[in-house]
């Protein structure tokens, strides 16, 4: 009897335990589902635009952003006032942050959670005394420094009157002399002012040169334009970029691609091959020619006042001009050939491509001087502008704030003009002055944004600044171009070889499943 009793009790206990476990699992499962549903609902209703920073990425993000100003919000996730303020902050961040921002590349809106232990020292460094606390200033001024409330002559300022989205945006508008509105929609670029008369604005085009380089190579890959007949012209253009691209990280990226090009696209590759790896992805997709954060999805100097104006074509022209003023005399003919072949084989706008190549084929004698090639490219650009001026005037397709014009305008280079017939719009040029203007404008001024830091975010001394402005010197072509590639990329190659050898000898890690 006792055994039966014990057996019954034991059975009942096991059943109860089983039911409890099942019930608990069921409840937890339902809770998980509810959390997932609620999370999805929140995600669909509320999009976050503010950039989350912490002690590990604070300096890197603010050092590398193309934005002119930054707002940093110091908050604590447990603070009710911070949670209530977040929707206001996000309304303003929507206007400025990311490729989908209404006015991208002007202000970067960020936040730091001071309640996380990783950020304790960072928040102390900026004297965070209350939540939320907002600071304003040029992004680079936040890097490697701190801030004190009574600090004199500081470029960082507290935003004391930004309790709502309206107040915050009004404060920003007062600082910038702008008229942004919370209801602004994308491509309503009426706030953009013409940057023709301000020669320093070209410095912001360094980001557009990166954007155009990355976009051009994305188009080449997407359209599968690397064929046996076009392979050589792409290699020549990559050689040119390795030696003379104004962006250091684009030079590095071009060198990485060039070092691996024979493996990625062998010379005997047949047109029928899909140029894809085993996963169906283009193998060159593994290489980001100007770094992992490019393309950014928006333009700075080259942004038009309309959705479909300027942008890529403007950035590409700036790239070509910047290359033309960085080469040596012995590279002038090589650069001419590389440029003409690249546009002819890889520029996808058919009419523009044919028009440019016609100008190339009209050149009867080789270039012996870098000056001659730079002036030819400048003249070719003006011919393109003259043609487009007429077409856009008749069709009303031009950008009203950035109409096509003869370049450079008198405001930028009065010494370039010997005479100007207003009726025929014909200009008598002082070509020596034009060349000096081109060298300054597309050379040192273009790279001047990086006097204090390198393009890939590493601070450099003044003695190394020239590396950002004057690239490696190739003396003879094609031997000179090969030497330039060797000089520019030997360090990258050595590092790549070492990494590969380490990867081959490395045992695969186990993963827990």
C-alpha to C-alpha distance for 142 and 147, rounded to whole angstroms: 8
Q: Which long-range contacts (CB under 8 A, 24 or more apart) does 273-280 make?
A: 274/224, 275/224, 275/226
DSSP state letters, 401-441: TS----SS-TTT-GGGEEEEETTTTEEEE-HHHHHHHHHII
Q: What is the dihedral of CA 238, 458, 70, 134, to 10 degrees?
A: 150
Specify the 3-state DSSP secondary structure of 176. Answer: helix
Rg (CA), the chain: 29
Burial of 513 per CB tally in 10 Å (0-12, 13-18, 19+)? exposed
User: Among residues 69, 159, 72, which one has the least CA distance to residue 111?
Assistant: 72
CB atoms near residue 127 (< 10 Å): 16
In angstroms, the CA 432 to CA 195 distance is 24
The owner of tokens 């940093």 is 72
Residues tagged active-site: 79, 82
Whether the ω angle into residue 478 lies within 30 degrees of 0, i.e. cis, is yes
What pairs with residue 135 in β-bridges? 72, 158
d(CA 146, CA 235) in angstroms, rounded, equals: 46
* CB proximity list for 347: less than 8 A, separation 6 or greater: 316, 353, 356
Q: Which residues contact 126 (CB under 8 A, 6 or more apart)?
A: 72, 74, 135, 146, 147
Q: How far apart are CA 249 and CA 124, in angstroms?
A: 33
Fill in the DSSP letter of residue 162: -
Instruction: Judge whether 318 and 301 are in contact, CB under 8 Å.
Output: yes
CB 296, CB 207: distance < 8 Å: yes
């Amino acid at each position: 009897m006792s055994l039966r009793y014990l057996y019954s009790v034991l059975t009942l206990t096991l059943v109860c335990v089983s039911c409890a476990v099942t019930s608990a699992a069921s409840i937890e499962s339902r809770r998980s589902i509810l959390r997932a549903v609620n999370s999805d609902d929140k995600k669909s209703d509320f999009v976050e635009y503010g950039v989350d920073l912490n002690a590990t990425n604070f300096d890197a993000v603010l050092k590398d952003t193309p934005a002119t100003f930054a707002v940093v919000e110091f908050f604590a996730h447990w603070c009710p006032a911070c949670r209530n303020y977040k929707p206001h902050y996000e309304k303003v961040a929507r206007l400025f942050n990311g490729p989908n921002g209404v006015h991208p590349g002007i202000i970067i809106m960020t936040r730091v959670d001071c309640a996380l232990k990783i950020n304790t020292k960072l928040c102390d460094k900026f004297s965070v005394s209350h939540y939320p606390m907002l600071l304003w200033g040029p992004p680079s001024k936040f890097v490697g420094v701190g801030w004190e409330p009574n600090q004199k002559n500081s470029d960082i300022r507290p935003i004391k009157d930004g309790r709502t989205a309206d107040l915050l945006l009004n404060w920003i508008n007062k600082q910038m002399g702008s008229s942004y509105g919370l209801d602004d929609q994308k491509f309503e670029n009426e706030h953009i002012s013409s940057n023709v008369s301000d020669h320093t604005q070209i410095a912001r085009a360094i980001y557009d040169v990166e954007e155009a380089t990355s976009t051009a190579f994305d188009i080449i890959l997407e359209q599968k334009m690397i064929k046996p007949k076009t392979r050589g012209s792409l290699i020549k253009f990559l050689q040119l970029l390795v030696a003379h691209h104004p962006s250091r990280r684009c030079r590095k990226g071009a060198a990485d691609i060039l070092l691996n090009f024979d493996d990625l696209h062998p010379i005997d590759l047949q047109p029928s091959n899909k140029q894809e790896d085993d996963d169906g992805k283009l193998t060159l997709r593994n290489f980001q020619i100007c770094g992992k954060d490019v393309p950014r999805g928006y333009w700075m100097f080259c942004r038009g006042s309309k959705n479909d104006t300027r942008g890529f074509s403007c950035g590409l022209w700036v790239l070509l001009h910047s290359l033309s003023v960085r080469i040596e005399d012995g590279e002038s003919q090589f650069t001419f050939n590389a440029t003409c072949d690249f546009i002819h084989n890889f520029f996808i706008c058919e009419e523009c491509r044919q028009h440019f190549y016609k100008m190339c084929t009209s050149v009867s004698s080789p270039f012996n001087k870098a000056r001659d090639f730079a002036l030819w490219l400048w003249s070719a650009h003006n011919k393109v502008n003259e043609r487009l001026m007429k077409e856009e005037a008749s069709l009303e397709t031009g950008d009203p704030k950035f109409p096509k014009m003869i370049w450079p305008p008198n405001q930028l280079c009065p010494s370039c003009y010997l005479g100007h017939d207003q009726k025929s719009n014909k200009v008598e040029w002082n070509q020596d002055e034009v060349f000096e203007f081109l060298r300054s404008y597309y050379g040192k001024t273009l790279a001047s944004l990086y006097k204090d830091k390198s393009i890939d975010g590493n601070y450099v001394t003044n003695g190394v600044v020239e590396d950002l402005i004057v690239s490696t010197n190739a003396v003879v072509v094609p031997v000179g171009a090969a030497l330039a590639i060797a000089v520019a990329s030997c360090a990258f190659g050595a590092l790549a070889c070492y990494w590969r050898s380490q990867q081959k000898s490395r045992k695969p890690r186990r993963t827990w499943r």
